Homo-oligomer: A and B are copies of this chain.
Amino acid sequence: MERETQKEEGWIRRIPLRIAPPSLKDNTADVDRLAKAIKKASGIGDVAIDLSFAKKIPSLLREYRYRVQAVVYEGSLSWHLAGIFPLDGDHSIYGIAADLGTSTIALRLINLTSGEIKDETAFLNPQIEMGQDILTRIHFASQDGGLQKLQTVLIDRLNEEIGRLIDRHGMEPDTLVGLCAAGNTTMSHFFLGLDPYWICREPYIPSINRFDVIFAKRLDLSIHPYAPVLVIPNVGSYFGGDLIAGILASGMTRRDETSLLVDVGTNAEVVIGNRDWLVGCAGAAGPALEGGVARMGMMAGPGAINKALLDPDSGRFHLETIGGKPPIGICGSGLIDLVAQLFLAGLIDFRGEYVESRCGSRLREIDGIKHFIVVSSQDSATGDDLTLSQKEIYSLIRSKAAMYTILSTVTQMTNVSIKEINGFYISGTFGAYMDARSAIDIGMIPDLSLDLYKPLGNSSLAGATMALLSRADKEEIYSIRDRVTYVELNVNQEFMSLFSAAKCIPHTDRSLFPSVKEWSSG
């Protein structure tokens, strides 16, 4: 049953074939014979077979005695042959979904027949060596041989990791008959070897938005040479395939109700819409937010405090760390919890300033800046106090204010009232750990019913997985791309005054956050 379903819905398909061998009465050529058999068995029409693959077909057909399973895929403009295998033996076919992040790359090994995720891995983007951020890499790409090098280290590392994945399962590279990659526009350009030069130069245009499906051999990927490689299209230089994949993964474009999607990665990206319309914002306000959320504390990793709850009686924090390891720092979601709890307990005021009378001995001044001791040196893994400085709080306030301002601007721009928002999706690691209650308490996100907040995890990888598996989802990817109205956020006078108003906890207009209850007021 599962197989039948996959056959109906996939854009990469297995077709079992018992082909009549050639005879004097039927001397149709080998390649034509195969194409004819596929056409007859599948009803998909004519199948393109790359010349270099076609060269191998006569001997393969004979080796398999004309009993084969053909793997075909729907490319950009027609169906193609991706592989042929003997009819007997394991009938499953596999593929790779990839999230090509600027910092981290994540891969999944997927059974295309059953849809099962067989394995998953993540690793640092090797291009970091050539530049920590995208702009540095774009500059690097413009140097002699630079683009080639960026592509090569990426492909080599992908091949290495794909090799490890399949080795763990005793599989051969040839059984991987498809790959779907999602990345921001620049990463997609690097992956395909396209010049990103104009991405960061006015008027900021990519080389390509809609990438044709190409076969793996063209990129030297170590999977089946004629396996399709689908790169999720982008809307523009600052609205990439990773976000399109995230939109797909959220399911927001298949709902009648209006939802918001927020992706806090290197940039902050916001999408609002439903089945009928879709508006996306990205870029401009990103760095403002990034200056806070992304740089605050440490990255999410083992030992990072990611949850904090203040015990009203003892005045002590109950802390949770990633992996349950002794605390070594505070990550984004932990920071939001901490600041929310400090505010609710009255240890900081609505401006985020420490209230010395309430903090007591836990406040310490270092280099003239107030620091709140979250974990004392004897409890931390570092041997030092883990503290939260006044500066870090201000920084978080700027971030949360930027986020709230972007969300307000986007809803106002699209004439959607907060009440109409019926889903709030948060992508990324940050979204996975972030406590929505705390984020509301500090006024980072709107005061919606908590059940409307849905963390998506790596939505780029999730979307790539869906687009790899399903023909409808692959089509939805292009439909999303074509439907999104991309809006450059204008950091103008109005934005700045909204931003100022959002710099209180939870907000200057307290009526926007009725659910936030300080303990003292309780």
Contacts and interface: CB of A to CB of B under 8 A. Distances in A.
Interface residues of A, number: 48
Interface stretch (A96-104, A109-117, A189-197, A412-420): A189-197
A58 interface: yes
Interface string A11-39: 00000000000111001111111010000
B55 A194 contact: yes
Nearest to A23: B203
Given A48-B212, A210-B32, A193 B27 contact: no
B207 A54 contact: yes
Nearest to A31: B208
24 contacts: A22-B198, A24-B204, A27-B236, A27-B237, A28-B205, A29-B206, A29-B210, A29-B236, A30-B198, A30-B205, A30-B206, A30-B208, A46-B76, A48-B77, A48-B212, A51-B193, A51-B218, A54-B194, A54-B207, A54-B212, A55-B195, A58-B197, A59-B195, A77-B78
Given A22-B203, A77-B78, A236-B27, A51 B212 contact: yes
Contacts of A299: none
A57 interface: yes
A461 to B, nearest CB: 24
A195 B29 CA distance: 12
A70 interface: no
Given A27-B203, A27-B237, A48-B77, 19 more contacts: A23-B203, A24-B203, A24-B488, A28-B205, A29-B205, A29-B209, A29-B236, A30-B198, A30-B208, A31-B207, A46-B76, A49-B212, A51-B192, A51-B193, A54-B212, A55-B193, A55-B207, A58-B197, A77-B77
Interface of A: 22-24, 27-33, 35, 46, 48-52, 54-55, 57-59, 76-78, 192-195, 197-198, 202-212, 214, 218, 234, 236-237, 488
Among A52, A197, A209, max chain B CB count under 10 A is at A209
DSSP class of A's interface residues: helix, strand, loop or mixed?
Answer: loop
A211 B54 CA distance: 10
A58 B195 contact: yes
Nearest to A49: B212
Contacts of A49: 212
Contacts of A77: 46, 48, 77-78
A28 B194 contact: no
Contact of A207 (B52, B57, B234): B57
Nearest to A57: B207
A48 B76 contact: yes
A58 B203 contact: no
B55 A204 contact: no
Contact of A198 (B58, B205, B208, B212): B58
List the 10 closest pairs (A to B, CB-CB), nearest first: A77-B78, A29-B209, A29-B206, A31-B208, A22-B205, A32-B209, A24-B203, A27-B205, A22-B203, A58-B207
Nearest to A62: B198
A20 to B, nearest CB: 11
Contacts of A52: 218
Among A78, A204, A207, A214, max chain B CB count under 10 A is at A207
Contacts of A197: 58
A214 B32 contact: no
Nearest to A236: B27
Contacts of A210: 29, 32, 35
A76 B197 CA distance: 34
Nearest to A194: B55
Among A22, A194, A205, max chain B CB count under 10 A is at A205
A33 to B, nearest CB: 8
